[in-house]
Amino acid sequence: MKKEKPQSLRLPPTLPTRFLSWCLPNVLKVPVLGDLAEEFNQKSSEHKGQAQANHWYYRQCLRSGLQFLWFHRRGLLMFIFSFIAFVLLTLWAMWLGGEISMFWNFPSLLLVIPPAVLFAVGATSTNALKVALSLMLDDDEIPTSNQAKITTRLFSVMGNSALLLGALMTVLGWISMASNIESEAFANVFGPAFAVSMLTTMYAIGFKIICYVAEQKIQYKFDKKSALDF
């Protein structure tokens, strides 16, 4: 038997659908998004038209999404809030120490973070990185025993590699300073050169803190699941 496709079928806007889908727990995604799509189609075919249907759909998705956001994405939101608090406190400490610009050196950042991420992927796999990011972003996703082991190892390697790279680059800077600074210029050059050489270590410690928290977050999710199973 041939199925007839309704002529006036319209797809709801993608962006609010994605937002609501992200906010909803897995068990409610199908019925809630289905109900909204059904009502959206009814409203689109009414005389009020497409614009009003879109407006109604955006409002429903935004308000419903915000209702579910705190209950189902609490872990991620707390991680983001703690990260923002960490950045703001660090900036405040920098501001107290003088100009913030003296703590910023893009090449130093490049020497630490990208190689640390590459080392971590090299020690585990690109799939481990994908799973780790997915576990961080999705509170509903619970790691299996293997996933927990691999992803915590990934963050451990990432953080420790960053620390070692930071220390290495700092020592490299010191060797370079010791080899090149002439005695006449020592008083003027040593201070700024020493400060720049320490920046890689500072960035590495900051990155290690973030990796440590991410590692503990995944371990906590796994331990919580294990405790409930027990």
Partner 1 sequence: MTDDKFLGEFEQVLLLAILRLADNAYGSTIRQLLSEQINRDVTIGALYTTLERLEKKGLLTSTLGEATAERGGRAKKYFEVSAKGHQALKRSKSALVTMWNGLALSTLHGQGSC
Q: Which residues of the shown chain bind partner 1 in the complex (CB under 8 A)?
A: 5-6, 9, 11-12, 28, 30-39, 41, 60, 63-68
Minimal distance in Å, beta carbon 52 to partner 1?
A: 14
Q: Could you please report the per-residue DSSP string of 146-157?
A: HHHHHHHHHHHH
Q: Which is nearer to partner 1, 72 or 217 (CB)?
A: 72
Minimal distance in Å, beta carbon 30 to partner 1?
A: 5
For 156, list phi and psi in degrees, rounded to 5.
-65, -45
Minimal distance in Å, beta carbon 170 to partner 1?
A: 51
Q: Which is nearer to partner 1, 67 or 125 (CB)?
A: 67
Minimal distance in Å, beta carbon 67 to partner 1?
A: 4
In one-letter notation, the amino acid at residue 133 is L
Who's near 172: CB < 8 A, 6+ residues apart?
197
Q: Which is nearer to partner 1, 6 or 98 (CB)?
A: 6
Residue 160 CA to residue 16 CA, distance in Å, equals: 39
Query: Residue 83 has which token pair?
Result: 């990260």
Cβ pair 116, 161 in contact under 8 A: yes
Q: Which is nearer to partner 1, 53 or 165 (CB)?
A: 53
